[in-house]
Structure 1
């Protein structure tokens, strides 16, 4: 049984997909325009404290939540931190872990590879940026009866959602930085997350400061990252 807009597949409703069809030239222009925009994205560590409305953050997270996920389980939670006291606690805990990493955990090769980026254990942006988005992955879910249910391809799914989120942040005219202090379990404690959530990524979001500089780095050429099999 079906209508023009829906059918049943194994008893589940499927709706008609409507694609916006472009000419080949329009696709070329659209893809080039998007590349020219997203290629200007940079990881920024110098933030302004200039405020902006939470509804912009909500739109960014709605975009991230539209990402594909294993069995459509959507195994993520996006925690938005605006509270100054909580941001301060996160900064203090992150810097403690980062100091250990720079002094004990990272080997000489790793430290040498980071030198051209100008990074260190100090993370003032965690307090300066108007918002922090802490992304948690969910390896499993609880149903209403408290039973556990597995999620699938969790890291891949949450990684895709974070990619959508970073692109959306840039598209909105804001900047971010993928911050991954390791280990990140302190985020679960500070934000009082349930036992089925694990910290995945920390993203400060805001405007770049007027004196922001970024490393002069280049991406690999296309022929280094793409192989065509004809």
Structure 2
């Protein structure tokens, strides 16, 4: 539990509100239960900066590749990446993410065949010239060998609405934002543990729900092959935007 600061150089904590405003609107509901912030230890600012620098440098090494080794990856690593994703914040704590992890070669082959069928239509019929030009530096096409080369495919679904035991719908909130944060944490976890992944979005993605037997209240968001990179793996020669291109400080 964090302790109130006794350091005179630090501002005092704000006083807590004596009567939260939500109580006037939720008198008919049970009182929310709160617990102290767990496992928080404030560290020295110099250490904070050092840890932040190390983490940034590590994440700056992350690259997307389509060249996967077929070497097996322990299931526990996939479990830990999904557990990490599950720590994401979510609207009203609905946790509207669902993961399907696949290492069955036959099922991966079915997914690849279905994805390539859709992708061929996209590249040859649906794709505009502008879209095709935007993808050109990535060197992509409709052939998706990574879907069978990678030892794991992880499909991320967004739960558009929940289902109560009686079958009625329960509204979820900020689904896209919540699932997007979970996806980012999953990708970070995969990178930190020494594996690679690819954010594949076959268009359209409805076939994944059908192949994997998911409910109509879910939509596929990402198809993420996971594994080790091939020894000859390559990535596009691209650069990330600098800080001043992605941030504004105040108005």
What TM-score bracket applies, with the shorter chain setting the length?
over 0.9
TM-score, normalised with respect to structure 1: 0.94
- In structure 2, distance between residues paired with 1:79 and 1:52: 16
In structure 2, the partner of 1:118 is: 139
> What's the counterpart of residue 169 of structure 2?
148
Q: CA deviation at 1:89?
A: 0.6
Give the alignment partner of residue 45 of structure 2, picking from 18, 21, 24: 24
Match of residue 34, structure 1, among 47, 55, 58:
55
Q: Aligned match of 1:12 in 27, 32, 35?
A: 32
Return the alpha-carbon distance in structure 2 between the equivalents of residues 52 and 121 of structure 1: 26
- CA displacement, residues 176-207 of structure 1 (integer Å, 9 cap, x when unaligned): 00000110000001001112111111000000
Aligned-residue offset at 1:105: 1.2
What do residues 50-84 of structure 1 show as CA deviations (whole Å, max 9, x unaligned)?
00210111011000011000000001110001111
Partner of 2:33, secondary structure, is strand
* Structure 2 unaligned residues grouped into runs of 5+: 4-22, 24-29
Q: Runs of 4+ in structure 1 displaced over 6 angstroms?
A: none
The C-alpha deviation readout for 1:90-148, integer Å capped at 9, x for no partner, is 00111111111111111111111111111111100100101000001011111112111
Pairing 1:43–2:64 present: yes
How far residue 12 of structure 1 moved from its aligned partner, in angstroms, is 2.0
Matched, 1:184 2:205: yes
* TM-score calculated relative to the size of structure 2: 0.86
1:58 aligns with 2:97: no
Mean CA deviation greater in 16-25 or 122-131: 16-25
RMSD between superposed Cα atoms in Å: 1.4
> Which residue does the alignment assign to 1:220?
241
Of the structure 1 ranges 33-42 and 9-18, higher mean CA displacement relative to structure 2 is found in: 9-18
Aligned counterparts, 1:151-230, within 5 A: 151-229=172-250
CA distance in 1, matches of 2:215, 2:135: 34
Structure number with bigger Rg: 2
Show the counterpart of 2:125: 104
Number of residue pairs aligned between Structure 1 and Structure 2:
223
1:138 correspondence with 2:150: no
Gaps of 5+ in 1: none
Residue 16 of structure 2 corresponds to: none
